Every structure is written in C-alpha cells, then in structure tokens.
Amino acid sequence: MSELENLTPAEISRDRMRFTRNTASSRLAILAILFDVFFFVSIYKSDVGTYYYTILIGASIIYNLVFMLLTFLSSEGVKNYQTGYSYLMIALGVIQIVRIFIIPTDAHAAFVEDVQVMGDGQFLWCVVCLALSALCLFAGAVINLKKASALRSHIASLEASKA
C-alpha cells in the first residue's frame, strides 16, 4: 500500500505543492508592477509648466525601473516558495506607501501660475495605484510565507515518516 493512500485531502493538497508553482503570489507581484505602471504613466504624462523637470522625477524614473526589476525577480522567486523574496516584497510594499507622501502629495499641494500641478482626481488615482501596488505586494508575501511554511512542514513530516 502506498504512503499517499493514507493522506487526507488537505495533505494531498500540500503534497501537490512540491510539484506546482506558487502562482498566486507571483501573479500578485505582477499586478503590483501593473499598478506602479498606472501610477507613473499618470505622473509622467502631466505637463504643468516645468514643475516635473527636477532631479526628483529623475530619481523616480530610476526607482521605477529598479522597482519593476526587483518585483519581477520576486515574482519568479515566490513561484518556488522562497521566503527571502517575501521579505523583499514587504520592503517594496512599504516603499510604495512612502512614495504616496513624496511626489503625489507635493504635486497636489503645488501651484504653477495659479494652476494646481496635480488635481484631486489625479492625486486620488496616484494614491490608489500606489496603495494597490503595496497591497498586492503584502498579500503576495503573506501567501508565500504561509505556503512555504506549510510545504516545509509537510516535507519534514514525509521525511520523518520514512525514518
């Protein structure tokens, strides 16, 4: 009689994790990139005088590239239940929240020749995009941490039963 015949449906589901990828966390990381793209397209398409022609926007462009690279790397890492990438996703999510208080908040409060640099609608859109990006990163990280822990304990129990 095979050892798999004695497993419960929950144990079989955990056993399948050894052979399948963590697509939920990976897809959430890709979705976080998409929300970041919506954010920076909204910012970079704005043209209110010379307000956006600063070193801060240059740094933001470089950060967006680094963010997308690290988030994509994380999406590949969490596919294989690697917990280190979950912590990277959490850090990137925190930075996304902090970014709300940099360009969008400053631009929303600024005026160029009596014209508001970022209107209420655009400000709300930017905040929502950054918040959703962070939320996707946090959710993907938590899902990966839980699944990786369950997989590790399942593998340990399989090895213990062999001994």
Question: For residue 6, is it within any domain?
Answer: no
Mean per-residue pLDDT for 75-80? 96
Question: For residue 3, is it within any domain?
Answer: no
Total residues belonging to the chain: 163
Q: What pLDDT score does 154 carry? A: 82
Question: For residue 4, is it within any domain?
Answer: no
Q: How does pLDDT run across 81-91, given as a tens digit for each residue?
A: 999 999 999 99
Average pLDDT, the chain: 91
Instruction: Return d(Cα 53, Cα 9) in angstroms, integer.
Output: 59
Residue 1 has pLDDT above 70, yes or no: no
Q: How does pLDDT run across 26-61, given as a tens digit for each residue?
A: 999 999 999 999 999 999 888 787 888 899 999 999
Question: For residue 47, is it within any domain?
Answer: yes
Mean per-residue pLDDT for 90-96? 98
How many structural domains comprise the chain? 1
Widest Cα–Cα separation across the chain:
81
pTM of the model: 0.90
